[in-house]
Amino acid sequence: MAIGIVKWFDLCKGYGYLTDEHGADVFFHYSEIQDQLKFKALQCGDRVEFSIQNDAMGPRAIHIKKLNSAN
């Protein structure tokens, strides 16, 4: 699992970008946010844990979990 920060997220569009610990931007779709709440949303600056899956369009973040500020 990788750690990163939400760089940009648009709930209306349903996607955004994370910046991983190496400074690379990684695309993500909101359906990959693992949240127990009905409303899945992230905000710029949120710390997250995620896996990376490579597909035809390049690296993509999957299984995204928001980390508590204490982590």
- Across the 71 residues of the chain, what is the mean pLDDT of every consecutive 10-residue run? 95 94 94 77 92 92 86 48
pTM of the entire structure?
A: 0.85
Per the CB < 8 A criterion, the answer to whether 19 and 1 are in contact is no
pLDDT score recorded for residue 53 = 96
pLDDT score recorded for residue 68 = 78
Per the CB < 8 A criterion, the answer to whether 36 and 27 are in contact is no
Per the CB < 8 A criterion, the answer to whether 3 and 23 are in contact is no
Distance CA 26, CA 8 (A): 10
Residue carrying structure tokens 């299984």 = 63
Query: Could you give all domains of the chain from N- to C-terminal order, each with its CATH number?
Result: 2-66 (2.40.50.140)
pLDDT score recorded for residue 63 = 95
